[in-house]
Each structure stands twice: as structure tokens, then as C-alpha cells.
Amino acid sequence: MRRGKAKVSWADVCLPKAEGGLGIRKLETFNVALMTTHIWKLLTRKESLCVKWIHAYKLNNRNFWDVQIASNVSWGWRKLLPIRHIVRPHIWYKIGNDDKIKDVVSNGAWKWPSAWFVAYPVLISIPIPIRIDDQEDILQWRKYDGSLDSFSVREAWNTIRENANEVDWFYLVWSHQSIPRHAIHVWLIMRRRLKTHDRMRQWDVGPDIDLNLLRCSLCKAQPDSHDHLFFECPYSSRVWLQVLHMEDIRFASSKWCDIMDWLLPISKQSNVLSIVGRLLVAAVSYYIWQERNNRVHGKGERHHEQLVKVIMEVTRLKLAFIKFKKSVRVDKLRATWKIANLLSDAFGGSRNANGSIANILIHMFNGVTMG
């Protein structure tokens, strides 16, 4: 892969989508989670020939946590032992009827030797273990939030990976109704990582280039930024408001923060307004950014009405293949977007040389301007 200025750091990309990433698992961390399975099998003495052999010849009645890493050990053993410091804090025993605590607990209280309390005051704060008389000791996995659960590779990975707070825009960006390339674009907007003029001014581009002279390619009035492009720029504002007007959506603001205040609270819902709203925000922002880049690189200009037409047709095509529960509002949606006519043309109607469905599909997946 080409090295350069990454839009988003690899650490952030590898976060789950709910935490603002793309859900790509970092192989190094995931490999540790997979190797933890072998440690778990050893500690639980899983009934297998491999586990029996390791206990007999590798451990030989020694504690797994105390085994030294010798220079002549096998490759697999050498890879397993160094991750013990990662795994050990998450291995917890639930004490059953094979307990060995009777000498230090009496009547629900610790009875450590008095000298120990003086030497190790922390002993008094250790929770009293709860003994379960009718159950054998069991090994449990201590998760990231401190709760105990049965072990799985998924839980191990979730515990040892880098964690971040969940983002409130997860459902706005990611859903099975979204168009993937639009979703990625909105993800970059929410992270404010598009290469707009305001971000480029932070870069060291040399003394011969004055980035303050840059102007928005859509309105030519001022440098662009996330807030300007979505949708405070006169051009993008006209596109956004016209799209809303055509769909009779009663929302008049062109400010991204206001749009988020309107859309985020309903983004989890699967009703018509939520789905259409999310699709339109993603489509308008995507094609505004595309138009901006086309103009920057001299690939021509489109009137705002042409862009509106493209946005409406792509959204219409997506809506045609979304399954809705039958309702009066859904019937109105299909009538407003003329979805029945679209499906008829696609699967039963005649096609001309420039068939509208083919044209929309080409535009949707290849970015070709529709005629």
C-alpha cells in the first residue's frame, strides 16, 4: 500500500463500527485472541491428546504461569508463553466444592495472619470469595467491563483489543439499507477527515504555496470546509433544500449540526422517514463532494438541478429494493418515488439503447454522469 497522509489512523480504522471504526480486526491482536484458546484448553485440562502431552512433558507438574521461556523450546511454545501477561488478568476461578480457602476465611470474613495485614494492607480490601457447594470449580473469562463470562475467541478479542467509547452516529452511517460507498463517505464526514481546505492549511506544503488563497470550487467565495460543503455553501444548500422540497420533508436548515440534531434521534428506527432521511443525507453529501472534486481537477461542472436529478434517481433505485412492511406511509412512499414504474421498467418493461435502469446502475457504481 502507498504510504502517505492517512485520512484516518490505522488504530481508529481497526475499532468496531459502533466505536467509530470500520470493524477491521488488527491481525496481531486477533492472533493473540486465537492463541488464548490454547491457554484456556491447558488451564481447563480439555480432554485431548495435545493437552495431556503438554501437561506431561512441557509443564510436568509445574504452574503454567511460572514456566520459564527456555532457548530450546518449540516455536509454538515460544509464541504462547510471552502472551501470558496479557491473558492472566482475565483468567478467574469461580470457587466450587473443591475449594482450598477454609484456612483463611471464617464466618464470611478473612482471617489472614495479623502480620500479613500489617505487611500487605491491600488484603483487607479483597472481596470474600463466594463458595458454591454443589458445583465444581470453573474457570471464567473476565471481560473488558469487569464482568465474568464463559470464554470465547470473540470475548477474548473484545477484551484485549483497543477500546473506545461508542459513537452516537453508528446507526446513521451503517445499516443494510445504506449504499456502501455513501456510508464510507459519511463516516469520513463524521470523523471530519475529508481533505478540505481548512485541514490542508495545517499541512507543511512549503513557503511558495499560500493555502489561504484557496476557494471553494462550488461557490468561489471562500475556502471550503466540512461545514461549508455540507451544506452552507450556496450551491450545496440549493441541492440539499431542493431534494428535501421534492420529497416534502419539512426541514429547512442547511447546517450539518442541525441536520444531525434532526436525524440522529431517529437513526435507529426503521420507518420511512428515518430510512429516506439517512439515504438522502448520504447521497447529497457524497455527490456534493464528487462535484467539488470534479471541479477541482477540471472534469467539468454540473448545474445544481443536474446533481439533484442524479441524487433522486440513485436514491429511488435503492428504495426500490428495500423491503418495507406494508402500510399507508409505505404506499405513499412508493407512489411518490414511482417505484412501481421503476420495477416494471427493470424487470418487465421495454428498454431502449440508453435504458434508464442500466444508466442509473452505471452511475451508481462507476460514478458516470447520467445524461
349 domain residue, yes or no: yes
pLDDT of residue 337: 85
pLDDT at residue number 18: 96
The proportion of the chain whose per-residue pLDDT surpasses 90, expressed as a percent, equals 56
**Reported confidence tier of residue 98, pLDDT bands at 50, 70, 90:** low
pTM, 2 dp: 0.79
206 vs 289 pLDDT, higher one:
289
pLDDT at 169 over 90: yes
Q: Please give the pLDDT value at position 144.
A: 87
The pLDDT of residue 90: 93
pLDDT in tens, 17-62: 999 999 999 999 999 999 999 999 999 999 999 999 999 988 988 9
| Domain presence at residue 156 | no
Do 36 and 84 contact (CB within 8 A), yes or no?
Answer: no
pLDDT value of residue 355: 47
Q: Is the pLDDT of residue 80 over 90?
A: yes
**Structure-model confidence comparison of residues 307 and 340, the more confident one:** 307
Q: Does any domain span residue 301?
A: yes
Q: How many domains does the chain have?
A: 1
pLDDT(99) > 60: no
pLDDT > 50? residue 152: yes
Q: What is the pLDDT of residue 71?
A: 82
Q: Which domain holds residue 328?
A: 170-366
Q: What is the pLDDT of residue 369?
A: 43
Q: With 90 as the cut, is the pLDDT of residue 104 above it?
A: no
Task: Determine, yes or no, domain membership for 165.
Answer: no
Looking at residue 126, its pLDDT comes to: 74
Range among 57-66, 153-162, 334-343, 352-361 with highest mean pLDDT value: 153-162
Note the pLDDT of residue 354: 46
Reply yes or no on whether the pLDDT at 371 is more than 50.
no
Does the structure show a pLDDT above 60 at 149?
yes
Query: pLDDT tens digit string along 261-316?
Result: 999 999 999 999 999 999 999 999 999 999 999 999 999 999 999 999 999 999 99
What band does 127 get if pLDDT is binned at 50, 70 and 90?
confident
Q: What is the pLDDT of residues 212-252, one digit of tens each?
A: 678 999 999 988 999 999 999 999 999 999 999 988 888 88
**274 domain residue, yes or no:** yes
Per the domain annotation, does 22 fall within a domain?
Answer: no
The verdict on residue 75 lying in a domain is no
Q: Is 115 domain-assigned?
A: no
Residue 336: per-residue pLDDT? 84
